[in-house]
Amino acid sequence: MNHEDFETILPLYAAGQLAEAERDAVEAHLPVCSVCQADLALWQAVSGEIRTANRSVAVPPALGERVLQQIRRPSGLAHPFNRAWQLLRAQTLLVHREMWPAVAALMALGVIVAVISGHLEFVYFVAPMVAAASLAMLSGQENDPAFELTAATPTSPWKILLARLSIVSAYNLLLALAATLVLLGFAPPHLLGTLVLGWLAPMAFLSALALLLSLWLGTTNAIGLTYTLWVAHYVPYQLIEQWTASSAWTGVITAYQQLWQKPPLLWALAILLLGTALWSAGHPAFRLNQGVSEGDQYRA
């Protein structure tokens, strides 16, 4: 053993934790090493202080009874479900109250326009936009009056975001389904599957994108960008192609328009975006709008 080895095991020697062989080695080394003698004195002082301080610690008398009371409370599987239910209920109250009727009214308007114009596919166009707008308004100081309070609670920001996301997405899904069912009064029943599949995957993708962008860039930018992307795939680019006769441009446009026709790809992207959004909620330093919102706060 060299000096560094003795230095490492000296605290264990002082604590009486060494095996006989190592203890003997330390005792043989100590008389010839003044540095280790000083270190041993130091560790013995530390050991004495720590032991004295801890021995005087008394356990609060009510602690044992509190533990018994807690373990006797019914919990088991019901406990996490109860917590999740309480979180969902609490977060429902914190989502913008105006959002619920506004989303329903927009969806109803979409149905009316679809029926009057005779273009039932109009619901494909409206449902993802309505869902994206509502998800872009889930979080952040501009939307949440209890933002500071929520940020200070022990519940993780990603859990809060997930709870709100679940509530609002379920609401959007129900509204879109209801709209589709209404349209079935004007279309053959066997088109139900086609109608639902028409908006389901784009709605999931656009909603996830809007949520992530709202965390990074703020609600207004998120809505603007997702709407641009959504509307962009309806633009008849064949007309523009007359001015930009580039094969690369045509390839990009074709790939972009085909993206919206591939539900598995849209679902995969939606899951990826959602995961990033939830991760981002727990890491505010990575939000691109952090500096802006802090600046706004100081100005206010």
Binding site for other proteins (CB under 8 A): 7-8, 11-12, 14-17, 37-39, 41-54, 57-60, 63-68, 70-72, 75, 154
The residue count for the chain: 300
- The three-class DSSP label of residue 54 is helix
**Minimum distance, C-beta of residue 234 to other proteins, in the bound complex (Å):** 49
By beta-carbon proximity to other proteins, the closer residue of 16 and 291 is: 16
By beta-carbon proximity to other proteins, the closer residue of 11 and 140 is: 11
On the CB side of 166, how many CA atoms lie within 13 Å of its CA?
Answer: 15
Sign of CA dihedral 122, 124, 129, 130: positive
**Minimum distance, C-beta of residue 83 to other proteins, in the bound complex (Å):** 15
State which H helix or E strand residue 158 sits in.
helix 157-183
By beta-carbon proximity to other proteins, the closer residue of 34 and 238 is: 34
**Minimum distance, C-beta of residue 35 to other proteins, in the bound complex (Å):** 9
By beta-carbon proximity to other proteins, the closer residue of 79 and 262 is: 79
**Minimum distance, C-beta of residue 31 to other proteins, in the bound complex (Å):** 15
Rounded to 5 degrees, what are φ and ψ at 174? -65, -40
**Minimum distance, C-beta of residue 11 to other proteins, in the bound complex (Å):** 5
By beta-carbon proximity to other proteins, the closer residue of 70 and 228 is: 70
By beta-carbon proximity to other proteins, the closer residue of 50 and 252 is: 50
* 283/272 Cα distance (integer angstroms): 17
Please check whether residue 138 is in contact with residue 215, taking contact to mean a CB–CB distance below 8 angstroms: no
Which long-range contacts does 111-117 make (Cβ < 8 Å, 24+ apart)?
A: 111/179, 111/182, 111/183, 114/183, 115/183, 115/186
* 196/173 Cα distance (integer angstroms): 10
Q: What is the distance between the terminal CA atoms of the chain, rounded to a whole angstrom?
A: 66
**Minimum distance, C-beta of residue 245 to other proteins, in the bound complex (Å):** 58
